[in-house]
Amino acid sequence: MTLVFPYPPISTSTAHALTFLFAFSYVGSLYISKNARLSFTSRPRPAANGVAREKLSQERWRDDPDVIRARLVAVMTATIFCCAGVFGMLWHFVGDAPDSLTTTFDTTAVRLGFKSHIDLDSIYPHLVTPLLFLGPLYAKWLGSNLPFQKFWSFETDVVKKFITWQGVRNFLLAPITEEVVFRACVLAVYHLSGASTKRMIFLGPLAFGMAHIHHAWDTFNRYGRNASAAKRAIITTLIQLSYTTLFGFHCSYLFLRTGSILPPISAHIFCNIMGLPEIGWELKRFPKRKNSILFAYALGIFGFGYLLGPWTLTPGGLYWRNTQDIVGKGSY
Higher pLDDT, residue 180 or 57: 180
What's the burial of 147, exposed, middle or buried (CB within 10 Å: 0-12/13-18/19+)? Answer: exposed
pLDDT (tens digit per residue) in 234-276: 999 999 999 999 999 999 999 999 999 999 999 999 999 999 9
Please give the mean pLDDT across all residues of the chain.
Answer: 90
**CA 110, 116, 121: angle at the middle one, nearest 5?**
155
pLDDT (tens digit per residue) in 97-153: 667 888 899 899 999 999 765 565 589 999 999 999 999 999 999 999 999 999 999
pLDDT (tens digit per residue) in 169-227: 999 999 999 999 999 999 999 999 999 999 999 988 999 999 999 999 999 999 988 88
- pTM for the predicted model, two decimal places: 0.92
* Domain chopping of the chain, boundaries: 12-326
Amino acid at 100: S
> Is the pLDDT score of 327 beyond 50?
no
C-alpha span between 191 and 79 (Å, rounded):
19
Averaged over 157-173, what is the pLDDT?
Answer: 96
Of 182, 320, 192, the residue nearest 251 (C-alpha): 182
Of 19, 17, 12, the residue nearest 184 (C-alpha): 19
pLDDT of residue 9: 93
User: Could you count the other beta carbons within 10 Å of the beta carbon of residue 55?
Assistant: 15
Whether 130 contacts 301, CB under 8 Å: no
